[in-house]
Structure 1
Amino acid sequence: MADLLNVKNLQVKVEEKEILHGVDLTVNRGETHVLMGPNGAGKSTLGNALMGNPQYQIVGGQILFNGQDITTEPTDQRAKLGMFLSFQNPLEVPGITLGNFIRSALQQRTGKHIRLWDFKKEMKRAMEVLDMDPSYADRDLNVGFSGGEKKKAEILQLLMLKPSLAILDETDSGLDVDAVRTVSKGVEEYQKSMDGALIIITHSTRILESLKVDKTHVLVSGQMKAEGDASMVDRINENGFVDFLNK
């Protein structure tokens, strides 16, 4: 199975402070990877650096995506190539509806005009998976949405855009049990629908309960300390990160 993402010795600074100190990560097509670690370990920094957030300065290493060096590519180019990042705290964007935002992003992603009728049909199906009221498509993006509704809107974007690699950063943060279950259902639908890969950054393991996990990674103080299969999640649930802190 060919590598989709290959991160080599990645070093990242934020405001002149180095946060990541030589991170390596390989993700193959169709795989689901879980990234865990204590607060301040650099998990969100890694997600943002992979997506090209300009606030995160790559000072060493390389990011290859589909065999292409994207280390210096801007965020919009990475999105067009098939990368997607969900946020812990999605932004509100007045003046553009959720539906128009997704349709515009989809047209940018594919480079093709999307017929409105076909788009609405596909979006209706995706919203049904997430138990979303269709009226949300006509509301300004995330404006007045609850925390759970914002997370559903992001998973809706995931289902519609069908990226090759989705990075979900604390998607389950602050959600109640029912909302986590619904979001998990959307992520599971993404897993089934295509040969896309997932990197799930999380503190909690609730979102993982219904998902097939291929690999688990533990990030501590900006370094990858361990890698294993899905059973490592159970080990972390039982013992926390104490086993990895002094490695």
Structure 2
Amino acid sequence: MSTLEIRNLHVTVETPEGTKEILKGVDLTINSGETHAIMGPNGSGKSTLAYSIAGHPKYEITEGSVTLDGEDVLEMSVDERAKAGLFLAMQYPVEVPGVSVSNFLRTAKTAIDGEAPKLRTWVKDVKGAMENLRMDPAFGERGVNEGFSGGEKKRHEILQMELLQPKISILDETDSGLDVDALRIVSEGVNRAKDNTGLGIMLITHYTRILNYIRPDYVHVFVNGRVAEEGGPELAERLEAEGYDRYLASA
């Protein structure tokens, strides 16, 4: 059982107009086996929350705490956060030319576990995960995200997640740019990882579409850098019908 605990998190970022506070006191707790949907309009701070937890240097945490199983995440370097069990599936995965997917995955697994995986087992695991995600085996020899379609990039993120087996996974708009078939396959991968390892999930999205495939246990409405309302899956259904206007009017 693992727990990611966020308390009173305040985050600023430098803009051309000066320092701007994006997160204004966020409280959130995610346990193993739970799926938390973070929903809100553009510019509400959802991605800032994701990147602040992951350790992006652009974001300065001015107040509050983030702990994973009682350990201070904010004192950890980015690689230490990954080793501790945090995983971020990026909204816009970056290209890494010259590094093959297969080398990248095995190097990442070795860094996370502190030892190289046994080759025979590893090859079997990678092959099985790629089959589940409907990925051509030749994909492994391509450069990381180089020339990938949007769907291929998102499948590659979920492939990493399945193989690295984190404790808590932050999925930053994993549904963006996916057609219906790719969305279903990616969602199946997320559900499979949760079922197999008890993964805790923070699922950031604008739309309820992905929630038809990944059923949230909790829904948090994020507006103006704060959690404006919390509830169960029925809250997402209400957002689908009503949108965010009622929150923006009072923000």
1:6 corresponding residue in structure 2: 5
Contact conserved, 2:106 with 2:116, CA < 8 A, in 1?
Answer: no
Residue 79 of structure 2 is aligned to residue 80 of structure 1: no
Q: Which of 199, 206, 224 in structure 1 is aligned with 2:227? A: 224
Residue 143 of structure 2 is aligned to residue 151 of structure 1: no
Shift of 1:28: 1.3
3-state DSSP of counterpart to 2:75: coil
Question: How far apart, CA to CA, are the structure 2 residues paired with 1:204 and 1:38?
Answer: 9
Question: How far apart, CA to CA, are the structure 2 residues paired with 1:122 and 1:165?
Answer: 20
Contact conserved, 2:83 with 2:112, CA < 8 A, in 1?
Answer: yes
Q: How does 1:47-86 map to 2 (within 5 A)?
A: 47-86=50-89
Question: How far apart, CA to CA, are the structure 2 residues paired with 1:132 and 1:204?
Answer: 26
3-state DSSP of counterpart to 1:132: coil
Shift of 1:3: 6.0
Contact conserved, 2:2 with 2:167, CA < 8 A, in 1?
Answer: no
1:162 corresponding residue in structure 2: 165
The AA in structure 2 aligned to 1:203 is H
Contact conserved, 1:8 with 1:25, CA < 8 A, in 2?
Answer: yes
Residue 141 of structure 2 is aligned to residue 142 of structure 1: no
Q: Which runs of 5+ in 1 are unaligned?
A: none
Question: How far apart, CA to CA, are the structure 1 residues paired with 2:168 and 2:205?
Answer: 17
Contact conserved, 1:168 with 1:201, CA < 8 A, in 2?
Answer: yes
3-state DSSP of counterpart to 1:49: helix
- Please, what TM-score do these two structures have when normalized by structure 1? 0.97
2:124 corresponding residue in structure 1: 121
1:100 corresponding residue in structure 2: 103
Q: Which of 114, 119, 130 in structure 2 is aligned with 1:111? A: 114
The AA in structure 1 aligned to 2:219 is T
**Sequence identity, in percent?**
47
Question: How far apart, CA to CA, are the structure 1 residues paired with 2:84 and 2:196?
Answer: 18
Shift of 1:99: 1.1
Which segment drifts farther, 67-76 or 99-108? Answer: 67-76
Alignment RMSD: 1.1
The AA in structure 2 aligned to 1:237 is E
3-state DSSP of counterpart to 1:114: coil
Question: How far apart, CA to CA, are the structure 2 residues paired with 1:195 and 1:141?
Answer: 27
Question: How far apart, CA to CA, are the structure 2 residues paired with 1:131 and 1:75?
Answer: 30
Q: Which of 192, 215, 218 in structure 2 is aligned with 1:215? A: 218
1:233 corresponding residue in structure 2: 236
Question: How far apart, CA to CA, are the structure 2 residues paired with 1:220 and 1:210?
Answer: 24
Which segment drifts farther, 208-217 or 46-55? Answer: 208-217
Contact conserved, 2:44 with 2:222, CA < 8 A, in 1?
Answer: yes
3-state DSSP of counterpart to 1:71: helix
Deviations 1:117-150 (A, max 9, x none): 2111100000111000011011110111111111
Shift of 1:72: 2.7
The AA in structure 2 aligned to 1:217 is H
Deviations 1:37-72 (A, max 9, x none): 111000000000011111111011000111111123
Deviations 1:68-119 (A, max 9, x none): 1112322111000010001111101011111111111111111122122211
The AA in structure 2 aligned to 1:4 is T
1:204 corresponding residue in structure 2: 207
3-state DSSP of counterpart to 1:24: strand
Q: Which runs of 5+ in 2 are unaligned?
A: none
1:44 corresponding residue in structure 2: 47
